[in-house]
């Protein structure tokens, strides 16, 4: 599928930076002597494969990384103990781990922050100022959990002990973060309205899932989302919206829509299949570990992400009645409960449970009940 699972489950490349600064005298006053910074990188593991569930507390995949130092305006490079230019870019984690000298020496005293950029894909060579690291991220390019842009900056403020030369040690714990969170669908279930009450349809097929009402861009450094892509969903418009997305994906796969395959011989570990919610399956389908599932990344950092700007999931269904009549149906999520937050690296796992009252509701909207866990995984049960 287009969206690579991640979602993970969710996140975090953890790094500890230790700065040793000899510009503190016994009175706690600063002078202008250079600073040195040593780096310890740990707990970096890969996420799951494409479309597979991300387990809670999984770390976001880290391929390459680059270290910067700044005073908030200028970017500075450290040197080796011999005064030559130190390596700041590491093409792999193994490349970083194999270093003999992990210390950046002779940084100016005004340096007060460590910045780490992950998964840029190549060395950043032209940046000389803090502003040069700024860029816009496109959500279409943030769907592969193995290649998420990662960023974090931390101030060098906490002094803990001294180095062997008697210089104060500044420690900064840095957790690399993506600029996205993730929605996964874990299950579909067609419930009876009440025990003993017959369902209106003998079976329901799930044929397509797509995302609506999402931000298309976000700020790389801060993560603030911008530019909403939203279709107005009505009974008159929704099937045209499904078809438009399906046609776009037929010629050039799109990340925001999945049309399920009717080929029953397709491998569920690599391809989403049409789901039949019928008596043989007890009217439910749960995605198992190792099989692909609908999953979509979105930019969460917005003041209204929990109200008007939360992502919306649309599901296209075909209901079959006892006389064989087929009827096109759809569902659309409304708010999440609890609400989606502006935090990065959350995974909202949605279990789509619905009944005939939901399908008969003119708005076809579902309130999604969420149990949030932290990339972070969040099980979600839609309510209509």
The model's pLDDT over 331-375, given as tens digits with 9 standing for 90+, comes to 998 878 778 999 998 888 888 889 999 998 755 454 444 433 356
Give dist(CA 270, CA 234) in Å, integer.
Answer: 32
Cβ neighbours for 78, distance < 8 A, ≥ 6 positions apart: 36, 37, 69, 86, 88, 103, 104, 105, 106, 107
Cβ neighbours for 234, distance < 8 A, ≥ 6 positions apart: none
Q: Which helix (H) or strand (E) holds 358?
A: helix 356-360
Peptide bond into 7 cis (omega under 30): yes
Q: What band does 40 get if pLDDT is binned at 50, 70 and 90?
A: low
Q: pLDDT for 2-20, tens place per residue?
A: 444 333 333 444 445 554 4
pLDDT for residue 57 is more than 60: no
- Percentage of residues of the chain with pLDDT beyond 70: 75
Give dist(CA 302, CA 280) in Å, integer.
Answer: 44
Q: Which helix (H) or strand (E) holds 238?
A: helix 238-251
Give dist(CA 9, CA 343) in Å, integer.
Answer: 14
Q: What band does 163 get if pLDDT is binned at 50, 70 and 90?
A: low
Quote the pLDDT of residue 1: 46
What percent of the residues of the chain are helix, what percent strand, and what percent coil, each to the nearest 5?
A: 10, 40, 50
User: Residue range 48-73: average pLDDT?
Assistant: 73
- In the three-class reduction of DSSP (H, G, I as helix; E, B as strand; rest coil), residue 126 is classed as coil
Please say whether the dihedral angle defined by the alpha carbons of residues 321, 327, 328 and 332, taken in this order, is positive or negative. negative
Q: pLDDT for 301-323, tens place per residue?
A: 999 999 999 999 999 999 999 99
Quote the pLDDT of residue 196: 87
Quote the pLDDT of residue 56: 53
Please say whether the dihedral angle defined by the alpha carbons of residues 286, 290, 295 and 299, taken in this order, is positive or negative. positive
Quote the pLDDT of residue 240: 97
Quote the pLDDT of residue 45: 40
CB 317 within 8 A of CB 331: yes
More reliable by pLDDT, 133 or 48: 133
Q: pLDDT for 236-289, tens place per residue?
A: 999 999 999 999 999 998 999 999 999 888 888 889 999 999 999 999 999 998
Least confident of 58-62, 90-94, 164-168, 241-245: 164-168
- Start-to-end CA span in the chain (Å): 27
pLDDT for residue 217 is more than 90: yes
Quote the pLDDT of residue 79: 83
Quote the pLDDT of residue 165: 58
Pick from 163, 67, 204: which is nearest to 124 by CA?
A: 67
User: Residue range 170-177: average pLDDT?
Assistant: 75
CB 108 within 8 A of CB 23: no
Strands 89-90 and 65-70: antiparallel
| Tokens describing residue 176 | 């690399």
User: Residue range 115-126: average pLDDT?
Assistant: 93
Strands 158-162 and 275-278: unpaired
| Tokens describing residue 42 | 């740990």
Give dist(CA 5, CA 296) in Å, integer.
Answer: 8
Give dist(CA 8, CA 183) in Å, integer.
Answer: 8
DSSP bridge partners of 235:
none
Mean pLDDT rounded to a whole number for the chain: 81
Q: What band does 176 get if pLDDT is binned at 50, 70 and 90?
A: confident
Residue 286 CA to chain centroid, in angstroms? 22
Least confident of 46-50, 108-112, 149-153: 46-50
What is the value of pTM for the model shown?
A: 0.85
């Amino acid at each position: 599928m287009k969206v690579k699972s991640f979602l993970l489950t969710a996140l975090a490349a953890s790094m500890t930076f230790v700065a040793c600064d000899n510009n503190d005298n016994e009175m706690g006053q600063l002078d202008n002597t250079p600073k040195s910074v040593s780096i310890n990188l740990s707990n970096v593991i890969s996420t799951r494969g494409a479309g597979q569930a991300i387990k809670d507390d999984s770390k976001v995949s880290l391929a390459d990384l680059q270290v910067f130092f700044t005073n908030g305006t200028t970017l500075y490079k450290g040197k080796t103990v011999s005064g030559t230019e130190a390596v700041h870019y590491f093409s792999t984690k193994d490349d970083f781990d194999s270093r003999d000298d992990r210390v950046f020496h002779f940084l100016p005293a005004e340096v007060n922050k460590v910045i780490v950029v992950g998964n840029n894909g190549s060395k950043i060579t032209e940046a000389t100022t803090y502003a040069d690291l700024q860029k816009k991220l496109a959500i279409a390019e943030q769907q592969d959990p193995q290649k998420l842009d990662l960023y974090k900056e931390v101030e060098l403020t906490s002094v803990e002990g001294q180095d062997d030369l008697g210089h104060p040690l500044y420690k900064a714990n840095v957790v690399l973060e993506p600029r996205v969170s993730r929605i996964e669908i874990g299950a579909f279930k067609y419930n009876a309205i009440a025990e003993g009450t017959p369902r209106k349809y003998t079976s329901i097929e799930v044929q397509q899932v797509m995302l609506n009402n999402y931000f298309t861009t976000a700020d790389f450094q801060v993560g603030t989302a911008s530019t909403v892509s939203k279709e107005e969903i009505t009974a008159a418009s929704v099937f045209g919206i499904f078809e438009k997305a399906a046609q776009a994906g037929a010629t050039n796969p799109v990340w925001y829509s999945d049309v399920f395959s009717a080929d029953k011989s397709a491998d569920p570990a690599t391809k989403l299949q049409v789901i039949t919610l019928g008596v043989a399956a007890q009217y439910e389908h749960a995605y198992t570990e190792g099989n692909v599932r609908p999953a979509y990344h979105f930019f969460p950092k917005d003041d209204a992400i929990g109200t008007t700007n939360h992502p919306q999931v649309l599901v296209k269904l075909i209901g079959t009645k006892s006389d064989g009549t087929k009827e096109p149906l759809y569902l659309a999520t409304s708010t999440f409960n609890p609400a989606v937050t502006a935090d990065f690296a959350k995974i909202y796992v949605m279990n789509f449970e619905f009944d005939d009252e939901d399908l008969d509701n003119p708005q076809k909207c579902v309130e999604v009940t969420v149990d949030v866990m932290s990339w972070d995984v969040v099980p979600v049960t839609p309510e209509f």
